[in-house]
Amino acid sequence: MVVRRIKDRWHNSTPDQPERDVVAEKSSEDQASALAFILWRQALNGAINLHAEDFRYDNDQQRIGVISELLAFQIQHVDRMTYDFVEADARGRLINGLCQKVAQLMQENLTDIAGPGNYKPPFVALLNNRFADYAGIDYSDGRPGYPAFRYLGRCVLDLMGEDQENRWVIDQIIEIDAPDLVDQVTKSTNRLFNRE
């Protein structure tokens, strides 16, 4: 897997103030912005990794589709894992803000790639559909397991097609990419909320 360093810690802005105090001052919007960037970067890395593993994209729409699926998977994981340590109202603001920030990143990137257009509504519709689907999949010990990984893998396979080169992408997602995403999302979220 291609590994790129992702910054997932708040930096202490004043030398005399401990980092824990700085983290406590971060708003849901601050947390959502930081997480949106981290999740976007991880989804992009995941799409690049699939290509590096010799899976084939026929066009940019497939690549953006895979990035979208990886984002939906990560956001629903943040939602589930923060259930235990973020108050319900704050969690709602966090996840809503996270979805809005990621949708804005999608809009900006697709505008750069494909030209002007309204790219947010289809992405938000995908998020709503995937959140409903993932809601029916159980987690154990605060982590998604095989059923969630398989669902993500199936979504990616449906996008890329079951030709000779791509038919094993579901195994790549289940065995390597999805568990790696979960580990990174968990680590980054815990760091941003000072839970290490």
pLDDT score for 25: 57
Q: How far apart are CA 24 and CA 83, in angstroms?
A: 18
Q: Where are the domains of the chain?
A: 27-192
DSSP state of 177: I
**Cβ atoms 168, 153 nearer than 8 A:** no
User: Which residues neighbour 68 within 8 Å (Cβ) at sequence distance 6 or greater?
Assistant: 43, 106, 123, 126
Q: What share of the chain is helix, strand, coil (3-state, %, to 5)?
A: 70, 0, 30
Q: Residue 140: enclosing H or E segment and its boundaries?
A: strand 139-140
Q: How far apart are CA 14 and CA 111, in angstroms?
A: 38
pLDDT score for 95: 97
R_g over Cα of the chain: 17
Q: How far apart are CA 102 and CA 86, in angstroms?
A: 20
Other residues' Cβ atoms within 10 Å of the Cβ of residue 67: 23
Q: How far apart are CA 32 and CA 16, in angstroms?
A: 26
pLDDT score for 2: 41
Q: How far apart are CA 182 and CA 185, in angstroms?
A: 5
Give me the residues of the chain with pLDDT under 70, please.
1-25
